[in-house]
Structure 1
Amino acid sequence: MAPASVLARATAQAELCHIWEATYEASRAQPGSVAKKRPSGEWADYARALGANIQRRRVDLGLSQEQVAYAAGLSRYTFQKFEKGESMPGAPANPSLRNIMAICQVLGLTLDELVPKGWPDLRVGRV
């Protein structure tokens, strides 16, 4: 690469880094922003209940965590975290709809049958 194009690329990368840092800092400064918002409280209880439902059905079918995980296109580790209801210690799991649908298909359930009744109120500011 010519020196001028290397300089142009470095300048563009520096500008992108600056924009990202400014966006990140702005999101941290706003209460309830996406960057600071982590599921907790009611969601933590709900994630544990979902995990218990998954585990109960898996055990009833006589399947291992590994069998369900791989059939659903997940790693065993990820599936274990879903069953436990945690993504890391102290942080509730937040599986994607795609992952929950895949688990439902492997376990022979509909979303309604797997997902606990009584959804938590997830609205920001609870309208």
Structure 2
Amino acid sequence: MSNADRVLDNALNARSGVASNDEALQHRALGGGDTAVRTLKPRMDLLEYHDKNTVTAIFELPGLKKEDVQIDLHDNRMTVSGESSTSNGRDEGEYAVRERSFGKFSRTLQLPQGVKEDQIKAHLDNGVLCVQFP
């Protein structure tokens, strides 16, 4: 697979929340079997504020609370992860249409060089996580 194909594949899969071929291969190499990786990728917007020299990443995390979400920093990368579950008491009937996704989610961003942990600010309000960094 060429680099251009890989970039396009990853971008399309990031929109749909399906793992890329590379991620599926890594999953199998780690003993995960032949099943597709089912880690969801939350939708995200990135806003650049040139006048403030900051970037804000906005993640859609509907129904989640602060304690359901983790933000990890490692090797100049920020990973937002967690798990969403179905709401209790709503499974009495059979679904005619089910578009909402539940399960583990993860999204990793490469941070600009030199960003320190104390420079990153985050807050979660009404299922929208905003993370700001220089």
Per the shorter chain, which TM-score range? under 0.3
Q: Given the two structures, how large is their TM-score scaled by the length of structure 1?
A: 0.22
Structure number with bigger Rg: 1
Q: Which has the higher strand share?
A: 2
| Greater helix proportion | 1
